[in-house]
Amino acid sequence: MDKPMMFNGRLSKDKVDTWLDFLNEVSESGSINQPLAKAFLQLPESITFVSSIEDHIVGGTSIYRDRTRLSMVLTSVGVIEKFRESATYQIIKSSLPFFKTVAIRDVDALIPLEAKKNSLAFPLSLELDSWVKPDIKRLGFSQEGVLDYYSLEINDGRERKSLRWTKGYNLNLVKELIWEQSKPMGLTNSLVWVLRDFAASRKCLMAALQEGKIGAVAGFWKLPDAVCVSPILINPNLISWELVAESLVSEAQINDLKFIELPLIGDGQGELISQLENKCNITSHRRLSLFRKPL
């Protein structure tokens, strides 16, 4: 008897709920924020693929084209467990470019070092499940660095509002700050730009001005019990880490939230965590591998 054929195809924007329902079933991460995830997948640079056998979805992926770094991010992967060993490689491969182009030079993917539950889930956290790692390594991805995810609980006591975050900023100046600071922050990757794009589209990307210049940029996502801050980058010559930490706590408290989620922290942002530890308790710390495939 012939082995059933697997068909791979691009999913139209009005069908992305199909992918999200499937991903929610097979992902080892927390429950997906469906309205937010749908908004992410409907961004112009976001593309979703599904793979089917006999009209039944067995897996799929979503990717995002980062026009700033001329790159892509593998933003989600889902495969039914019984097909993971046999089909994951082909499912991911079918959604990636075959060769380098003038618009896409490499592909980024984020995978946890340990198989711990990701409570934030897609799309505010773009990490993939840990079982994906062997197949992306087979596809030519190699580890580029390590990033961190922190969850913090705010201690008792009100924090003064030390910085004024505003939507009234020049987007080109925000782009300049990220370009200048992504390397010293340890965030030279396309995940930063994807999250910048998403936050801007949802009108929750804020800037802090100092001396008439943009000293910090952050995406503020208000969740039922926490404020998720992603991405976050600063110019430490204009704004101190202490002021930024105070402002993050203050932003949470203004909205009666007790927790802060920081899903994308680079190794050059350790001082931010040190300052937050004076005001919060770290409830979870997870290390994440940044993998990259050059084309």
Tell me if 42 is assigned to some domain. yes
The pLDDT value recorded for residue 213 is 87
Region of poorest pLDDT, from 5-9, 67-71, 90-94: 5-9
Tell me if 54 is assigned to some domain. yes
d(CA 217, CA 199): 11
Helix 270-277 to helix 241-254 angle (10° resolution) is: 60
Picking from 294, 283, 87, the residue whose alpha carbon sits closest to that of residue 190 is: 294
The pLDDT value recorded for residue 1 is 46
Q: What tokens appear for 89 in the block?
A: 């490689």
Tell me if 172 is assigned to some domain. yes
Is pLDDT of 159 > 60? yes
288 sits in which H/E element: strand 280-294
Same domain (yes/no): 119, 180: no
The pLDDT value recorded for residue 114 is 83
Q: Across residues 166-174, what is the average pLDDT?
A: 87
Tell me if 199 is assigned to some domain. yes
Picking from 207, 205, 249, 212, the residue whose alpha carbon sits closest to that of residue 227 is: 249
Same domain (yes/no): 170, 113: no
Is pLDDT of 215 > 70? yes
Same domain (yes/no): 158, 276: yes
Q: Across residues 283-287, what is the average pLDDT?
A: 94
In the sheet that holds 46-53, the strands lie side by side as 6-11, 46-53, 56-66, 71-79, 106-112, 280-294, 142-154, 259-265, 226-234, 213-222, 205-210, 165-166
The percent of residues in the chain predicted with pLDDT above 70, rounded, is: 98
Residues in CB range of 195: below 8 A, 6 or more apart: 126, 219, 230, 231, 264
C-alpha distance from residue 106 to each of 69, 100, 158, 191, 243 (Å): 9, 7, 45, 12, 36
- Specify the pairing of strand 106-112 against strand 71-79: parallel
Is pLDDT of 115 > 90? no
Tell me if 294 is assigned to some domain. no
Q: Across residues 97-105, what is the average pLDDT?
A: 80
The pLDDT value recorded for residue 7 is 87
Same domain (yes/no): 61, 128: yes
Predicted confidence band of residue 79 (pLDDT cuts 50, 70, 90)? very high
Is pLDDT of 275 > 60? yes
The pLDDT value recorded for residue 248 is 95
Domain final position from 118, 144, 170: 144
* Residue 87 belongs to domain spanning: 6-144
Give per-residue burial for 49-60: e unless 16+ CB within 10 Å, then b.
Answer: bbbbbeeebbbb
**Any bridge partners for residue 6, and if so which?**
53
62 sits in which H/E element: strand 56-66
Same domain (yes/no): 207, 255: yes
Picking from 16, 15, 12, the residue whose alpha carbon sits closest to that of residue 38 is: 16
Same domain (yes/no): 161, 275: yes
Is pLDDT of 267 > 50? yes
The pLDDT value recorded for residue 222 is 94
Tell me if 295 is assigned to some domain. no
Omega of the bond leading into 123 within 30 degrees of 0 (cis): yes
Output 289 or 99, whichever has higher pLDDT: 289
- Local structure of 10: helix, strand or coil: strand
The pLDDT value recorded for residue 98 is 74
Query: What global pTM score does this model have?
Result: 0.94
Same domain (yes/no): 188, 240: yes
| Domain of residue 46, CATH code | 3.40.630.30
The pLDDT value recorded for residue 30 is 64
Omega of the bond leading into 231 within 30 degrees of 0 (cis): yes
149 sits in which H/E element: strand 142-154
The pLDDT value recorded for residue 33 is 85
Tell me if 1 is assigned to some domain. no
The pLDDT value recorded for residue 74 is 97
Same domain (yes/no): 86, 118: yes
Output 103 or 258, whichever has higher pLDDT: 258
Average pLDDT, the chain: 92
DSSP annotation string for 200-258: HHTT-EEEEEETTEEEEEEEEEE-SSEEEEEEEEE-TTTS-HHHHHHHHHHHHHHTT--
Tell me if 102 is assigned to some domain. yes
Question: How many separate domains does the chain show?
Answer: 2
Domain final position from 144, 164, 199: 144
Same domain (yes/no): 16, 140: yes
The pLDDT value recorded for residue 2 is 60
Is pLDDT of 234 > 80? yes
Domain final position from 124, 144, 164: 144
Same domain (yes/no): 209, 283: yes
Region of poorest pLDDT, from 97-111, 156-170, 187-201: 156-170
Same domain (yes/no): 37, 91: yes
284 sits in which H/E element: strand 280-294
Same domain (yes/no): 136, 164: no
The pLDDT value recorded for residue 120 is 85
The pLDDT value recorded for residue 101 is 75
